[in-house]
Amino acid sequence: MNPNLEDESESQRVISPFAQTTSTVRGKSSSGSSQIALWIVSALLILVVVGVIGFFTFKYLNDPYRTLEQFPMDKYMSDYRSLSGAKFKADLKVSADLGFKPETGRLMVFTVQNDTDNRPLVVLIPQGLSSIYFTKGQNYLVSLEVGDGGLVYADTCEKE
């Protein structure tokens, strides 16, 4: 035998890099069911995310206090006329109940939470809010309107 021929055949021989690996081919039916499951899970995840975003957006847009400024107690005490007709929100703490008239409403004394001097604020609670039971020391988030003569009226009231 010619040693040159053996060297040529060995040098021309090509070995595949994939010769030692094995592979499996999945059937079409299992691939389709896993894709359907993936689509269902993806759709449910999207629905949950959209639902959570929708809930918080709805809650934010239906907040009656989101556009109101905090009640300026210092400005009210110095000159209530400049605030006449304006609406505010306030965190109030019940101090006392001054009485109730069915045709007018309930007259209450509150302290404003952000007021460092703890000055009393008299608020007229209208008859429409008479179902709320006020107890001394309770905190409320209230929408207020400064009326004629400096009397403060409550428009809405929520217990905190």
Pair 93, 159: CB distance under 8 Å: no
Residue-level pLDDT at 8: 52
Mean pLDDT, the chain, integer = 84
Buried b / exposed e across 115-154, counting CB within 10 Å, b at 16+? beeeeebebbbeeebeeeebeeeeebbbbbbbeeeeebbb
CATH classification of 69-159, choosing from 3.10.105.10, 2.40.50.140, 3.30.530.20, 2.102.10.10? 2.40.50.140
Q: What is the tens place of the pLDDT at every residue in 101-139?
A: 888 889 999 999 888 888 999 999 998 887 888 889 999
Give residue limits of the domains in the chain.
29-62, 69-159
The model's pTM is 0.62
